[in-house]
Amino acid sequence: MNLALKDILHAPARFLVTIAGVAFLITAAVGMIGLYRGIVSDALLIVDVVGADLWVVQGGRAGPFSERSSVPMTLERRVAGVAGVATTRRFMQTSEQFTARGASRRAAVTGVDLSADDGRWIPLVRGRMIRKGHYEAVVDRAVGIGLGETIHLAGDDYAVVGITRDMVDISGDGMMFVSINDAMTIAVDRVAAEVRLARRAGEADPDLKVAAVLTTLQPGADSATVAAAIAEWGDVNVLTAAEQRELLLGQRLWRLRVQILAFTSVLLVVTAIVVSLIVYTMTLEKLHTIAMLKLMGARGRLIAVMIGEQAALIGLLGFALGLALAHVIFPLFPRRVLIEPGDNAMLFGVVAVIVFASALVGVRRANRVRAQEVLA
């Protein structure tokens, strides 16, 4: 029988506990990497799927995701007249809190400009896209509202006509898609007392504004030329989709990304130390057996293979169990944890290096054992 397997069967409970310990470390590492991927994916979701070449936002600002942006709703017509522009859409997104099913809920209310946007970029899993200009909504499953239910928001009732999946904003709140006009109304909603006091003070009702105008370009149009022409107006700022990604990843999420990656690095170092100690301890416990094997004429290569195979089994089984646990546990988490094959392959490579280094530590200790020690 294989020496490594024979040694494992000699104390199977200890080996299984060791596998479980390594598996939980692997699960935690998969979770940290997946949490990082999920946060990045959620942050870039709208930028990636909405299909805009240029984002026209408030002058001097880098909105609408990195900071607040507010532009006139008529800006869309001005942008549409620029040479090279194919289509324009108004965009609006605000975070709202409301009560439904007897509980407080949050949603990122996102306006869809139905006059120029059929909403095909919104991934429906049930129901249909909003068709009416008012009081229809498509909500993500994360909001916790079902198809056919009604949401009371800003004094109006919205019928839920469609359900999406994994459409969340940068904070992890599920999105609620309504018409752009409804989104603007919801954004400026005020209680009656506030309106009454504002009118007594002579304040005018707030203007309806949107956050940005999404622009797609004609085939062959140069985005830099079009952006420069729009920026010359002075009251707006123009950002490409790539610049929006850079603003989100390089500025708004920079500290969070670095912190998660730092935690992941620390976790991998701890995993390396734990696996090395386990293999080294298992080798120490077998020193008498190793000395006996050497006395019987066993070659050093045979002992090295035994230690290497045990270390490989710990790494392989620990990784497989850890990955399986990750697929069971993390879908239950409130925020999205993305487990991607590329990350798993990278992590497996790291575990393989850790196991190889740990085996070398054990083999080095075994090589120092002399056959005469068994007679001592």
369, pLDDT greater than 90: no
Q: Are residues 32 and 66 in the same domain?
A: no
- Structural domain contains residue 374: no
- Structural domain contains residue 373: no
DSSP letter (8 states) at residue 142: G
pTM for the model stands at 0.77
- The DSSP string of 227-281 is HHHHHTTSSEEEEEHHHHHHHIIIIITHHHHHHHHHHHHHHHHHHHHHHHHHHHH
57, pLDDT greater than 70: yes
Q: Are residues 55 and 172 in the same domain?
A: yes
- pLDDT of the residue at 276: 80
Q: Are residues 89 and 237 in the same domain?
A: yes
> Which bin fits 203, alpha (ψ -120 to 50), beta or left (φ > 0)?
beta
Task: Tell me the CA distances in angstroms from 274 to 336, 345, 350, one per residue in order.
Answer: 29, 21, 14
pLDDT tens per residue, range 82-101: 999 999 999 999 888 888 88
164, pLDDT greater than 70: yes
Q: Are residues 213 and 258 in the same domain?
A: no
Domain encompassing residue 164: 49-252
Q: Are residues 176 and 267 in the same domain?
A: no
> Could you give the angle at the alpha carbon of 37 between the alpha carbons of 33 and 38, nearest 5°?
115
Two tokens, residue 308: 């290497």
Two tokens, residue 342: 């590329």
Q: Are residues 9 and 130 in the same domain?
A: no
Q: Are residues 25 and 126 in the same domain?
A: no
- pLDDT of the residue at 89: 93
- Structural domain contains residue 376: no
- pLDDT of the residue at 175: 93
Mean pLDDT across the chain? 86
CA–centroid distance for 249 within its chain: 12
Mean pLDDT of 271-285: 81
CB-based contact 192:123 (threshold 8 Å):
no
C-alpha radius of gyration, the chain, whole number: 30
* Max avg pLDDT among 17-26, 285-294, 322-331: 322-331
Q: Are residues 146 and 206 in the same domain?
A: yes
177 vs 153: CA distance, rounded Å: 13
139, pLDDT greater than 90: yes
Domain boundary among 225, 252, 279: 252
Q: Are residues 221 and 265 in the same domain?
A: no
Which of 60-64, 286-290, 346-350 bottoms out in mean pLDDT, i.e. has the lowest? Answer: 286-290
**Domain count within the chain:** 2
Q: Are residues 113 and 162 in the same domain?
A: yes
Neighbours of 104 (CB within 10 A): 8
- pLDDT of the residue at 358: 83
Can you tell me whether residue 214 is helix, strand or coil?
Answer: strand
Phi, psi of 67 (to 5 degrees): -155, 170
342, pLDDT greater than 90: yes
E strands, the chain, in order:
54-58, 71-72, 85-100, 103-112, 124-127, 136-140, 150-153, 156-164, 175-179, 209-210, 212-217, 236-240
69 vs 211: CA distance, rounded Å: 5
pLDDT tens per residue, range 110-131: 999 988 888 888 999 999 999 8
Domain boundary among 218, 252, 286: 252
Domain boundary among 252, 275, 303: 252
Q: Are residues 24 and 82 in the same domain?
A: no
Between 306 and 236, where is the model more confident?
A: 236
- Structural domain contains residue 375: no
